[in-house]
Structure 1
Amino acid sequence: MRQTLSPSLAEETAATLREELARGRLTPGQRLSEAKLAAELGISRNTLREVFRLLTREGILRHEPNRGVFVATPSMASVLDIFRVRRLIEVPALAQAWHRHEAVDSMRKAVERAESLRDEGDWRAIGSANMEFHTAIVSLSDSPRLSAFFAQIIVELRLAFGLLENPEQLHGPYIQRNRDILSRLQAGDPKGAALMLDDYLEKSERAVMAAFARIS
């Protein structure tokens, strides 16, 4: 039998940092202090350097000689590619979904969380709820490989969002759109929900690229 290897400490820590990035707790261009971060994570600096190497290869961090390690800053070209990949993964996953799949409940919880946070004006947390909604859509495919790949895409997307000045303008319109997509899926019309998502992603891409153009 093939033995399943447990992830190394470096891999586990890399996953933790990806989560921090996906939740917007680390921002594009931020310099990461090796000593401080190693102490916070409870790992050696050698292990942290391995984590940095892993995430640098993924394009999530960047190393500058004699300056240190920084959170990567996405380019307009990389954002365009992210949305291209999202269409290839999310839209088919939704179109072929079973409307009683367990991930539908995760979609519902993400929508309800975003709706409850809207009155509080916590747009960073709403952004996280939005990421959870789209992660759940990919989970409808029942493909661990796609879900793992999408987890990296979500980190890069969150970095792009971190460059924008008005998170309310970015996330606000999509709270209701997420609710509408969920309702269509729950009604047993996954193909209709997928068409709505395709339109959603096109509008989202335009909004993000317009915001990027203003800060370029």
Structure 2
Amino acid sequence: MTGGMTRDGRRRPPEFAVLEADRALLNRASTAERVADILRDRITEGHFPPGARLSEESIGGALKVSRNTLREAFRLLTHERLLVHELNRGVFVRVVTVADLDDIYRVRTLVECAAVRNLGEPPYDVAALEAAVFAGEQAGLERSWRDMGTANLRFHQALVALVGSPRTDELMRGVLAELRLVFHVMDDPRRFHAPYLTRNRQIVEALQAGDPVEAETLLRAYLEDSRAQLSGAYAQRMSEG
């Protein structure tokens, strides 16, 4: 897929072609919040790495939205700590700090474990969880590590979505988008994602068996191990950078 051309005849980078495909999601009633949703999703999927400058011209042209709408979307995502505005330089995807990473996992543990603990009586609709696990396994077979990371994030988003709380869903979308920025920095994403596919499936199996207590136990251990592994490696990568 090519990136198309800008208004002045320059070739648009490939990542903006993804946004051109997103244009169909917008309509005349589109708002800055909807644009922010699209950009957040693309950050979560790994299309825009930390430190990338977001061009108003390229993104506005791809989505066919006004500069004012786009700037409001940027403002919303800056408030969510996904973007930063640098005076006289523009808007950039934020680089997450080591302290940010530890806090992300603190929030994940609080929200995800509480979500599983409060699922109520079984049976639980785990179709979205199963789909995310399958997508991760397929990505592994295809050696598509970015897609494997996306599938892993989608698994945890679907896990929290079982509670049926739009506010919690919104919180998790932002938290997981921040986590994707961490994944971008790691030089061996397979090592961080592949071992957790099996653990994701174990959580699904516990929920299918109607055992949320076991699912929470598995999830808490998963998050503790993931934080310890990722935090140490991320700190080393940031010091090298």
Q: TM (normalized to structure 2)?
A: 0.84
Equivalent of 1:77 in 95, 99, 106: 99
1:8 to partner: Cα distance: 5.3
Once the two structures are TM-superposed, the CA of residue 190 in structure 1 deviates from its matched residue by: 0.9
- Contact 2:116–2:159 (CA under 8 A) maintained in structure 1: yes
Structure 2 counterpart of 1:17, one-letter code: L
- 1:21-36 equivalence runs, <5 A: 21-36=43-58
Structure 1 gap segments, 5+ residues each? 1-6
- Kindly indicate whether the alpha-carbon contact (under 8 Å) linking 1:95 and 1:191 is maintained by their aligned counterparts in 2: yes
Deviations 1:47-105 (A, max 9, x none): 21111111112211001111111000101111111100111111121133244333x11
Q: Which residue does the alignment assign to 2:61?
A: 39
Residue of structure 2 in register with 1:106 after alignment: 128
Alpha-carbon deviation of 1:117? 1.7
Q: Of residues 34, 43, 58 in structure 1, which corresponds to 2:80?
A: 58
For residue 168 of structure 1, what is the amino acid of its counterpart?
R
- Give the secondary-structure state (helix, strand or coil) at the position aligned to 2:92: strand
Give the equivalent residue in structure 1 for 2:112: 90
How large is the RMSD of aligned CA atoms in angstroms?
Answer: 1.5
SS in 1 for 2:48: coil
For structure 2, the 5+ residue unaligned runs are 1-28
Q: Distance in 2 between matches of 1:185 and 1:205?
A: 23
Residue 125 in structure 1 maps to residue 112 in structure 2: no
- Cα distance per residue 1:168-201 (max 9 Å; x no partner): 0110100111011111111111100110100000
Ranges of 4+ aligned residues in structure 1 off by more than 4 Å: none
- Per the alignment, residue 221 of structure 2 pairs with 199
- Residue 181 of structure 1 pairs with residue 197 of structure 2: no
**Higher RCO, 1 vs 2 (CA within 8 Å, ≥6 residues apart):** 1
Q: How many residues align?
A: 210
Name the CA distance, whole Å, in 1 between partners of 2:202 and 2:95: 32
Counterpart CA distance in 2 for 1:11 and 1:185 is: 34
Q: CA deviation at 1:143?
A: 1.2
Distance 1:207 1:58 in 2: 25
Task: Say if 2:124 and 2:208, in contact at 8 Å, map to a contact too.
Answer: no
**Aligned partners of 2:108 and 2:139: how far apart in 1?**
25
- The reply on whether 1:144 has 2:166 as its aligned counterpart is yes
C-alpha displacement at 1:9, in angstroms?
1.4
Q: d(CA) in 2 for partners of 1:159 and 1:99? A: 35
For 2:185, what is the secondary structure of its paired residue?
coil
The whole-number CA distance in structure 2 between the counterparts of 1:56 and 1:148 is: 15
Q: Secondary structure at 2:57's aligned position in 1?
A: helix
1:38–1:45 Cα contact (<8 Å) kept: yes
AA of the residue aligned to 2:105 = F
Deviation, 1:113, is 1.2
Q: Is the 8 A contact 1:117 1:126 kept in 2?
A: yes
Tell me the SS of whatever aligns to 1:121: coil
Structure 1 residues 77 and 156, CA gap change in structure 2 (3 angstroms): same
Q: SS of 1:18's equivalent?
A: helix
